[in-house]
Amino acid sequence: MPETMIEAESITKAFGSTLALRSVDLKVEAGTVLGLLGPNGAGKTTLVRILTTLLKPDSGRATVAGYDVIHDAVTVRAMIGLAGQFAAVDDLLTGRENLELVGLLYHLGSKERKLRADEVLERLSLTDAADRLVKTYSGGMRRRLDLGASLVGHPRILILDEPTTGLDPATRIDLWQFIEALVADGTTLLLTTQYLEEADRLANRIVVIDHGQVIAEGTANELKDQLGGNVLEVTITDQDQLEKAAAVLADLGHGPPSYDRAGGLITLATDGKAEMLLEAARRLEENGIALDDIGLRRPSLDDVFLALTGKPTEDLPGTADTRQRLDPSGVL
Ligand SMILES: Nc1ncnc2c1ncn2[C@@H]1O[C@H](COP(=O)(O)OP(=O)(O)OP(=O)(O)O)[C@@H](O)[C@H]1O
Ligand SMILES: [Mg+2]
């Protein structure tokens, strides 16, 4: 039997009339990565806050390494590293000072604080910037420092809330490699993300949530298989005909078509037969819609998400949130 490191059972949480979580269950086995995937407002941060003892659920139960997040909150805090959704580093301190401050929260002696700060700065390639004020850091450097702060306590269990949101692609790939190295060292990881590509790359298992409810779970491949078939991709020449083209093709798919306006690209989950491809091309021609490209491909997790929720991932507006630092001494 694999050891369960994080477990949530029937977690429910409301904010006034907003039901942020509705009877959510999840399990993360030791040494694995669970990707909690969902659009803005799905309830990801709410669940993270409950699992990290920052917020109490209305009902349900959660444990970390077997410790109850309500009754054994202090123990739980000492066992986990958390990097929240928004940077919690202090702008008016240097990178090194920020990390040493976290060491102080873990009650480390001054030698050990320096050692761990150096180690984290090195691992996150921040050594050269270590003695600069954080307010001079780029967004990517802040994100790395933030992740670094969650590592100072050498946690075996790490919870990262949207670790790469807002980063440029190169910095995102750097962080992915860094996270993969932590996991190779045996760290258990729960990671929330809106990026299907991220969950696909990093997570052993994925739990998809929307409107506070788990709507699917499995490996990336299992989720893709659930969708079945293939995806029809059509690139049209004249972007002004995008809506018309989508309407002409709509009933060939399982779900609504999605489009990328800038590229003139329409994507549709289908049963994937060759005749359907010919039918799509014929309909577009009949309607005087010129094509640059048409083809079938295997579904991505984006397609899975669209099929499950009826919403493409890009169309979702951002929401504001406040960020809290986890205080392992138990004084919040
Ligand atoms: N402190 C709060 N007071 C009132 N409503 C809240 C509070 N925190 C969260 N909510 C609401 O609960 C729902 C879930 O929010 P949550 O922040 O958990 O979503 P999320 O999946 O983290 O979204 P995002 O991807 O934008 O970070 C949203 O409708 C949000 O507006
Ligand atoms: Mg969030």
Strand 205-210 vs strand 188-193: parallel, antiparallel, or unpaired?
unpaired
Q: Give me the CATH code for the 230-298 domain, please.
A: 3.30.70.100
Q: Which protein residue has the closest C-alpha to ligand 1 atom 26?
A: 40
Q: List the one residue out of 233, 294, 292, 300 whose CA is nearest residue 267.
A: 233
Side-chain half-sphere exposure of 253, counting CA atoms within 13 A:
26
- Measured on CA atoms in the order 286, 289, 293, 296, is the torsion positive or negative? negative
User: For residue 45, how far is its CA from the centre of ligand 1 (angstroms)?
Assistant: 7
Q: For the residues of 61-95, what is the DSSP string, one character each?
A: EEEETTEETTTTHHHHHHHEEEE-SS----TTSBH
Q: Whose CA is nearest to atom 2 of ligand 1?
A: 15
Q: Where are the domains of the chain?
A: 4-224, 230-298
Q: What is the pLDDT of residue 118?
A: 95
**Atom 25 of ligand 1, nearest CA residue:** 40
DSSP state of 156: S
Phi, psi at residue 26, to the nearest 5°?
A: -160, 160
From the CA of 180, how far away is ligand 2's center (Å)?
22
SS (H, E, C) 249-274: HHHHCCCCCEEECCCCEEEEEECCCH
The CATH superfamily of 4-224 is P-loop containing nucleotide triphosphate hydrolases (3.40.50.300)
User: At 167, is the secondary structure helix, strand, or coil?
Assistant: coil
Ligand 1 pocket by Cβ (under 6 Å): 15, 18, 20, 38, 40-46, 85, 194, 319, 321
| The residue type at 178 | F
Instruction: Extract the residue ranges of the chain whose pLDDT is less than 70.
Output: 1-2, 228, 272, 311-332
Ligand 1: which atom is nearest the Cα of residue 318? Answer: 26
Which atom belonging to ligand 1 lies closest to the Cα atom of 21? 14
Q: Which ligand is nearest to the CA of 193?
A: 1
Distance (angstroms) between ligand 1 centre and the Cα of 85 equals 12
For ligand 1, pick from 46, 191, 208, 305 the residue to mutate: most ligand atoms within 8 Å of CB. Answer: 46
- Count of Cβ atoms closer than 10 Å to residue 168 Cβ: 12
Among 161, 321, 322, residue to substitute to test ligand 1 (most atoms within 8 Å of Cβ): 321
Q: Do the Cβ atoms of 252 and 268 come closer than 8 Å?
A: yes
Looking at residue 171, its pLDDT comes to 82
Q: In this predicted model, what pLDDT tens digit does every residue of 208-260 receive, in sequence order?
A: 999 999 999 999 888 877 776 788 999 999 989 999 999 999 988 877 888 88
Which ligand ends up closest to the CA of 41? 1
Tell me the C-alpha distance between 57 and 71, whole Å: 12
Confidence (pLDDT) at 312 = 61
Instruction: State which ligand 1 atom lies nearest to the alpha carbon of 165.
Output: 25
Torsion angle of the four alpha carbons 189, 193, 199, 204, in this order, in degrees rounded to the nearest 10: 30
Neighbours of 325 (CB within 10 A): 20
Q: Which ligand 1 atom is the nearest neighbour of the CA of 39? A: 25
Counting ligands in written order, the one closest to the CA of 55 is 1
219-223 contacts: CB < 8 A, separation 24 or more? 220/301, 223/301, 223/304
CA 161 – CA 44 distance, rounded (Å): 8
205-210/33-37 β-pairing: parallel
Ligand 1, atom 16, residue with closest C-alpha: 43
Main-chain phi, psi angles of 57, to 5 degrees:
-75, 160
Which of 167, 202, 186 has its CA nearest to residue 5?
186
H/E stretch holding 220 reads helix 220-227
Closest CA to 309 of 213, 203, 193: 213
Which of 162, 174, 196 shows the shortest CA–CA distance to 86? 162
What's residue 45's pLDDT?
A: 96
- Measured from the alpha carbon of residue 38, the closest ligand is 1
Residue nearest atom 24 in ligand 1 by C-alpha distance: 40
* DSSP symbol at 288: T
Q: What is the Cα–Cα distance from 116 to 297, expressed in whole angstroms?
A: 47
The residues that bridge with 19 in the sheet, in sequence order, are 14
Interval between CA 210 and ligand 2 midpoint (Å): 12
